[in-house]
Amino acid sequence: AYAYAKQGAGPLRPGVDHVEGTVKAVVGPVYDRYHAVPLDLLKFLDRKVDESVQELDRRVPPVVKEVPTYARSAAAEVQKTGIMGTATGLAKSAIARAEPKARDLYTRYEPVAERKAAEAWAALNRLPLVPSVTRAVLPTAAQLSAKYNSAVLDGAKRGNSVATYLPLVPTERIARVFANPAADTAPATAPEMQPIPTQ
């Protein structure tokens, strides 16, 4: 029956031959060594191995037992839809599970983060060189942020799936938060700079 099934394996025949060769290479030396051992001893060893496997099965957590099932399921999904389809599906399901919690955290902590950023900006802006460096760098940063936002929006409109997950830089919000720091912080004006005395 095995020979008949092997002949009818069709395109799977090279794989069957490879597995058969591997099994013969591994099992052959074991068979050669133990074929003369009394059958009662082999039955005893088989019983002991069976008891050990059952004890191990009893002690292994159920989650570990489910891993092969998940692996087979993932392999079947990859075979059915291809690697990109599977990766996209897994990413979408992960996002669907994480999004509600992330949205909740975002809505709770965003106002706090904005207030702390405004307070830090007000404190940083009191240092002597920060306002002048900011005035020099700000136009370039605003222009690059606008270009990035435009590129992300264009990519999403063209159907680029990666672009749909990229965040936009909230330039208006940043400008509003840092232009009007929190009321409980010190004013954002820098102290008057004094010239360095020459000797």
- Crossing angle of helices 62-125 and 130-157, rounded to 10°: 140
DSSP state letter for 185: S
pLDDT at 82: 63
CA 7-20-15 angle, 5° bins: 65
pLDDT at 187: 44
pLDDT tens for each residue of 66-99: 767 766 777 776 666 666 666 677 777 777 777 7
Q: What residue type is assigned to position 141 of the chain?
A: A
What is the pLDDT confidence band of residue 185, given thresholds at 50, 70 and 90?
A: very low
Q: Is the pLDDT of residue 180 over 70?
A: no
Q: Is the pTM of this model over 0.95?
A: no
pLDDT at 181: 52
Residue bearing tokens 């983060």: 113
Q: What residue type is assigned to position 48 of the chain?
A: K
Spell out the domain ranges in the chain.
60-127, 130-178
**Exposed, middle or buried, 118 (CB in 10 Å: 0-12/13-18/19+)?**
buried
Q: Is the pLDDT of residue 190 over 50?
A: no
Given a contact cutoff of 8 angstroms between Cβ atoms, the answer to whether 128 and 190 are in contact is yes
pLDDT tens for each residue of 136-162: 888 888 889 899 999 989 988 988 878
pLDDT tens for each residue of 110-143: 788 888 878 888 888 888 888 888 888 888 888 8
pLDDT tens for each residue of 5-61: 777 777 777 877 888 888 788 777 777 776 666 777 778 777 888 887 787 777 777
